[in-house]
Amino acid sequence: MYLLWLRVAAILYAAASIAIFPAVLYGVVRWRKSCVHLGGLAFFFHFVSVVEMLVQGHSWMPVGVREVESLLGFAVAGVFFLVWWLYDAVSLGIFVLPITFFAVFVPALGAERYVFPSEGVRISWLVAHIAALLAAYVALGFSLLASVLYLVQERRLKSKRKPGTDSWWLPLDWMPPLDTLERIAHATLEFGFPCMTVGLVIGSVLAQETVLGAAYFRDPKVIASFTMWAVYVALLFVRRTQGLRGRRAAYLSGAVFIVMLVVMLANVFSQVHRYGPR
C-alpha cells in the first residue's frame, strides 16, 4: 500500500514542480499558493508512505536502495518546508521541488525492475526521450546564436561611422534589433527547459528496465545531464529575478551551451546510452 501513496506523492511533487516556475519566475500569486498546497499534500502522502514502508519492513531503517532514495526525498522536502515556514523562502522550491520529484520518481515505479508492456511501447518512450533532449539542445543552440548576434549587433550600433565612408559593419544591416534578439534568446531558453526536463524523466524510466537500475544515476552522462539541468534552472532564475539582459545574459547562455557540449562528450564514457539492442 505504501507504493500507492508514494505514487500519489510523486504526482503531486510533479505538479508542485510545475507550479513553482511561474510562481518564482513571474511572481504569479495564484501559482505560488497552488505550489505550496500541492507540495504540502505531496509531503503528507510521502510521510504516510514512509511510515507504512518502515512498518511493513519491521525496521526503523531502510533496507534497500529505493527505500533510501524515498527517505532522501522526504528529508529534502522536509527541510524545504521548514525553511519556507521560518523564512517564507518559497523561491528555493525552484531547485528543491524538482530534486525531490526526481528522488521519489524512481522508487515510485516499484521495488523491482520496471518492465514495459511491449517492445513497441519501449521504443516509443525511447523516441520521445531522444526527441525531447534533441529539442532542448536545438533550443539552447538557437539561444546561443541569438546571444552572439546580440553582442555583434550591440558592437555594430556602438561603432561610430563617419559620414561618406564605408564601414565593414555595413553588410550586417540585415540583423534584427537588439530587443528582438534578446526576446529570441530568452524564449528559446524557456522552450528548451521543459523539453530537457521531460527527456530526463523519460530517460529515468527507460533506465529502470536495464540491468543497471539505480546505478543509472552514477553514469557520467547522467550526472552531467542533471548538472546541466541545474545550471539551466539557475540561468532562468537569474535572468528573471535579476532582470539580466544584454551582454551578461549572452555570456550566461554561452556558459549553458558549453555545459551542453560537456554532456554530449560524456556520452563517450557512458554505459547506459547505447541505443542498440539491449
| Residue 4 burial (CB count, 10 A) | 13
Q: How many residues does the chain have?
A: 278
User: Domain check: are 54 and 164 in the same one?
Assistant: no
Residue carrying C-alpha cell 522550491:
93
User: Domain check: are 125 and 257 in the same one?
Assistant: yes
| Alpha-carbon gap, residue 238 to 15, rounded angstroms | 23
User: Domain check: are 36 and 84 in the same one?
Assistant: yes
- Are 276 and 166 in contact by the 8 Å Cβ rule? The answer is no
| Alpha-carbon gap, residue 214 to 212, rounded angstroms | 6
Structural domain of 38:
2-108
Q: In this structure, is residue 114 part of a structural domain?
A: no
User: Domain check: are 200 and 92 in the same one?
Assistant: no
Q: In this structure, is residue 264 part of a structural domain?
A: yes
- Note down pLDDT in tens along the chain; length 278 residues: 788 999 999 999 999 999 988 888 777 888 888 998 999 999 999 999 998 888 887 666 766 777 888 888 899 999 999 988 888 888 888 888 988 998 888 788 776 666 777 788 888 888 998 898 889 888 888 888 888 888 887 777 776 554 444 455 555 566 778 788 888 888 888 888 888 888 888 887 777 666 555 555 566 667 777 777 887 887 777 777 666 666 677 777 777 777 777 766 666 566 555 544 44
Q: In this structure, is residue 39 part of a structural domain?
A: yes
Q: In this structure, is residue 158 part of a structural domain?
A: yes
Number of domains making up the chain:
2
Going by C-alpha positions, the residue among 76, 65, 67 that lies closest to residue 49 is: 67
User: Domain check: are 12 and 67 in the same one?
Assistant: yes
Residue type, position 37, single letter: H
Q: In this structure, is residue 277 part of a structural domain?
A: no
Q: Name residues whose C-beta falls within 8 Å of residue 275's C-beta, 6 or more positions apart in sequence.
A: 126, 130
